[in-house]
Amino acid sequence: MAAVFEDIMSDLKNRIYKPVYFLAGDEPYFIDRITDYIEEKVLPEAEKAFNQMVLYGEDTTIQAVIETSRRFPMMSNHLVIIVKEAQSLKKIEDLAYYLEKPLVSTILVINYKYKTLDKRTKLYKLLDTHAVYFESNRLRDYQVPPWIERYLMLKGIKTEPNASAMLTEFLGTDLHKIVNELDKLIINLPAGKQVVTTELVEKNIGISKDYNNFELQKAVGEKNILKANMIVRYFADNPKDNPITLTIASLFSFFTKVLNYHYLPDKSKNNAAAALKINPFFVKDYESAAVKYSVRKTVEIIGLLRTYDMKSKGFGDLSTEPGDLLKELIYKILHN
């Protein structure tokens, strides 16, 4: 079984080390967190010159990695070998020979970003029993707001639900980018106020709290024609900051959840939140939209969104400007 990030970090902080850390997957943030901790914290500065080495997959071979890992530390308890860009290494499966009898004094870190190991291989099975295999998976959209809230909570900071939703809408799922922006927000928190609000996000990250995909989704869900049209006009005037493909994707996700809400046998807040994978705070938005949009209408809207997604990418419509396409789409959603 692949290791869990929190467990790995807890062991490292308690100076419980494994001979090999094989860090794979398509989310580099967690891989970098583990690697940076080992690189910075395992050895004292005085021991790093002789006992810590960083190799790069494109510039080395798996045989060289194995030979280096079999050296003994000099006046230290550990030798730390970090292999970055290990996905470029050829014959990575040959690492299995080292795993059969690794040196307990060596800490070998393999950064195998954007790839994973075949779990049927001998290498994976050896890692699973004798070392650490960590698979870092990119978060899905619905997982990002609670991740943001937990990241800030661990630093003693609360988050308005709308603020975490706005950040996710604007920043996507790139955790390195998200953490950079969150750290900026923390620095700019008003004295004595440990809460990230929509106003703080708007002021420091450049997201308009009134004109963004989250607010458009809310306006459409409420059938607030005036507000929806104001947002769409703003998007049309600022197409680079508000690409139509992201807007359509946001609305598609919203109406897919509205359709799922219609079919929930138990529509209580907690059950709906779990089924739709949303913060319970937002259940009322889907409840309200389900009243305004019947099952039949919701299905029609999802079809419309698919059609306009294709048009926005040049299929069947090469001449209409993105802003005009969006205006047309929103009109059909609200009026048909």
Q: Is the pLDDT of residue 290 over 90?
A: yes
Alpha carbons 309 and 313: distance in angstroms, whole number: 7
Alpha carbons 59 and 63: distance in angstroms, whole number: 12
Tell me the per-residue pLDDT of 90-121, one tens digit each, with 9 for 90 and over: 999 999 999 999 999 999 999 999 999 999 99
Closest CA relative to residue 213, chosen from 146, 279, 162, 177: 162
Domains of the chain listed by start with CATH number? 5-136 (3.40.50.300), 141-205 (1.10.8.60), 213-335 (1.20.272.10)
Position 202 scores a pLDDT of 82
Average pLDDT (226-234) is 93
Percent of the chain with pLDDT over 90: 76
Question: What is the rounded average pLDDT for all residues in the chain?
Answer: 92
Q: Is the pLDDT of residue 264 over 90?
A: yes
Position 1 scores a pLDDT of 55
Say which amino acid occupies 305.
L
CB 279 within 8 A of CB 161: yes
Tell me the per-residue pLDDT of 113-151, one tens digit each, with 9 for 90 and over: 999 999 999 999 999 888 999 999 999 888 999 999 999
* Higher pLDDT pick, 320 / 56: 56
Q: How confident is the model at residue 193 (pLDDT cuts 50, 70, 90)?
A: confident
Q: How many residues appear in the chain?
A: 336
Q: Is the pLDDT of residue 169 over 90?
A: no
HSE value, Cβ hemisphere, 13 Å, CA-based, for 207: 23
Position 165 scores a pLDDT of 86
CB 3 within 8 A of CB 134: yes
Position 208 scores a pLDDT of 73
* Higher pLDDT pick, 271 / 336: 271
Position 133 scores a pLDDT of 95
| Rg over CA atoms, the chain | 25
Position 170 scores a pLDDT of 82
Q: How many CB atoms lie within 10 A of CB 6?
A: 9
